[in-house]
Amino acid sequence: MPEPGREPADEYELGENRYGKSRIRLVTVRRDPKRHHLRDLTVAVALEGDFDDVHTRGDNAGVIATDTMKNTVYAFARDRLVGSPEAFGLELARHFAGYDACSRAFIDIEEHRWLRIPEDAGEAPDAFVRAGDLTRLAHVAVDKAGGVEVEAGVGELTVMKTTKSAFKGFDRDRFTTLPEVEDRLMATKLRATWGYRPELAAAASFEFDAAWDRARLALRQSLADHFSPSVQASIWIMSTAIMDAEPSIDWVRMVLPNLHHWQVDLAPFGLDNPGEVFVSTTEPHGLIDATVHRRGGARPPSG
């Protein structure tokens, strides 16, 4: 193995690489006279660029310290975290892409939601409870030329359908023991991400919050309404519903673990079980991952 600072040899070359700061925890409280506004984010920064010498020669010139990245996130939050997480991510990514050695900057944001505690007189102005329904996701990439990619989504969204889900007609061989079912419980902890049209996402007037709300509502409504012959079919149905509801979205990717609920056999106890008692399992589970995109539209990055 080459020693640090050794001249690159003909038989070696540096491949793709990036570095940054992950899991930057950030909470802000905007203190209006009558109402406080709470934000809770986890931010990650990653940079690509001309960083060969730090790897191959041990030369740190041009390297932006990851501690600097963390401090920049906090400094920008002082007066720039006033809108959507996507807009905040664009501010950060454009800043880091401006460094001489950086060719592309990536910002990933998870926003953890807090809800106001209800009181007799209405919602509390300064007391909150953590919402456990989902995490809002944002991913931003900005390159040296000003090119922009913006993705959004939801994560950790646990949902269940207690009917309108089946699985039958699948291939069978000598290792198949799974029975076909006309009506089953379907449960998952889904992650759905989508990509906005770059020319819209780069515009200062684009309303990320409104677009995210429309996409999330379409996801929830389509989940509740449709009959699911398989998790794969559900991904198609929900993804197309999201794009129908929000024309600015070019593609949707969904990752759905199939969290099984097996009906318990109560016959040994002299009892029937008309689809009322189940055992919940999380491992092992099926995992379905698919992307749906508009014909002729932008494609998501691979990976």
Element (H, E) at 288: strand 286-293
Supply φ then ψ for residue 65, to 5 degrees: -60, 140
The rounded distance, in Å, linking the Cα atoms of 86 and 302 is 21
Name the amino acid, one letter, at 4: P
55 is catalytic: no
User: Are 187 and 158 within 8 A, CB to CB?
Assistant: yes
The one catalytic residue among 36, 42, 55, 66: 66
Question: Which entry of 21, 70, 139, 293 is annotated as an active-site residue?
Answer: 21
User: d(Cα 20, Cα 46) in Å, to the nearest integer?
Assistant: 4
Ramachandran bin of 58, using left for φ above 0, alpha for ψ from -120 to 50, beta for the remaining angles: left
Partners of 104 in the β-ladder? 48, 143
The answer to whether residue 260 is catalytic is: yes
Q: C-alpha distances in angstroms, 47 versus 19, 141, 197, 218, 290?
A: 6, 10, 23, 34, 27
Q: Among 70, 95, 139, 260, which one carries the catalytic annotation? A: 260
Q: Which residues, other chains included, contact 140 with Cβ-Cβ below 8 Å and sequence gap of 6+?
A: 86, 89, 90, 92, 93, 106, 107, 108, 109, 148, 149, 150, 151
State the catalytic residues.
21, 66, 260
